[in-house]
Amino acid sequence: MHGFNIAQLLVDGIVAGSMYALMASGISLIWGTMRMLNFAHGEFYMIGGYTLFFALVALKVHPVIAVGLGLLATFMLGVVVERLIMRWLLLRAEWEMPTLVATLGLSVFMQNFALRTFGAGDLGLPYVVPGVFRIAGVVLPGQRIAIVLVAIVAFAVVWSILRYTKFGVAIRATSQDRDTAVLMGIDFPKVYMLTFGISVALAALAATMLAPIYSVNPWMGQRPMLKAFIVVVFGGLGSLEGAILGGVVLGIIESVGVAVVSSEWQDVIAFAILILVLWVRPQGLFGAKES
């Protein structure tokens, strides 16, 4: 047994964690704004993966355009799903259970739709970003560097939208007090629709980054979504900072944990953390206690 390279473990953890964070921030954004959980989040991730695959392999477009198409297609699908399914459920007095069941149903539908349409096989993709870098004994494939950079840019964009734009003001106002937001003239159904679209586009972004490393198949979204749920519980539901920090911390814990024990324990570690957090600090690291 050779010694661990702590730097390598940390870097690997940050790479994995930045993708958990990207997935988790979408779930958190939807929860924070609409107070619903999206159990089909992983399937929007899958749509992003398939769109990237077909854009690269069938349309043979430039990888950047392929990623853009993946985001756009998923965003539009998200907007349509919100408009046609979620809106009617969210306007009811009792919306928690119906939206939860609807997203679960949507998840099953989308997986099986992909299975029927594209088959069960794994579709492999070449790395979009070539090359491997070595810095001070840390091995870093270009794809993984790109993953972290893309995640940082995505968070900066989302944060700036929330912080500075008119739409961001509307999202924050709606999430904090929907009835009062209406008195400001804020059109909350429109806010919901766009928030849902942006949120699932973040999942698609994670997929376009990870699909070359793993592969594209109908179930590709399941593990990332489970991890994302652990992260949002860990970081606090509805908190963007919590999703980012929680994602990176989970990534590092897994990466170090797998080095200490063995890789079969990766999910055990993640879920052990989930249980521990629910036990000790159910509102998460950054979550406010629900009043």
Distance CA(7)–CA(28), nearest Å, equals 30
Between 104 and 169, CB nearer to other proteins: 169
Between 176 and 263, CB nearer to other proteins: 176
From the CB of 194, what's the least distance to other proteins, in Å?
A: 15
Distance CA(5)–CA(138), nearest Å, equals 8
From the CB of 181, what's the least distance to other proteins, in Å?
A: 7
Q: Name the token pair of 40.
A: 């089909």
Between 88 and 164, CB nearer to other proteins: 164
From the CB of 146, what's the least distance to other proteins, in Å?
A: 34
Burial class (CB in 10 A: 0-12, 13-18, 19+), 13: buried
Q: By the criterion CB under 8 A, which residues form the site for other proteins?
A: 166, 169-170, 172-173, 176-177, 179-187
Distances 171 to 34, 193, 240, 263 between C-alpha atoms, Å: 10, 11, 13, 40
Between 2 and 166, CB nearer to other proteins: 166
- Is-contact 150 129, C-beta < 8 A? no
Tell me the three state secondary structure of residue 158. Answer: helix
From the CB of 170, what's the least distance to other proteins, in Å?
A: 7
From the CB of 253, what's the least distance to other proteins, in Å?
A: 29
Between 40 and 191, CB nearer to other proteins: 191
Distance CA(159)–CA(202), nearest Å, equals 13
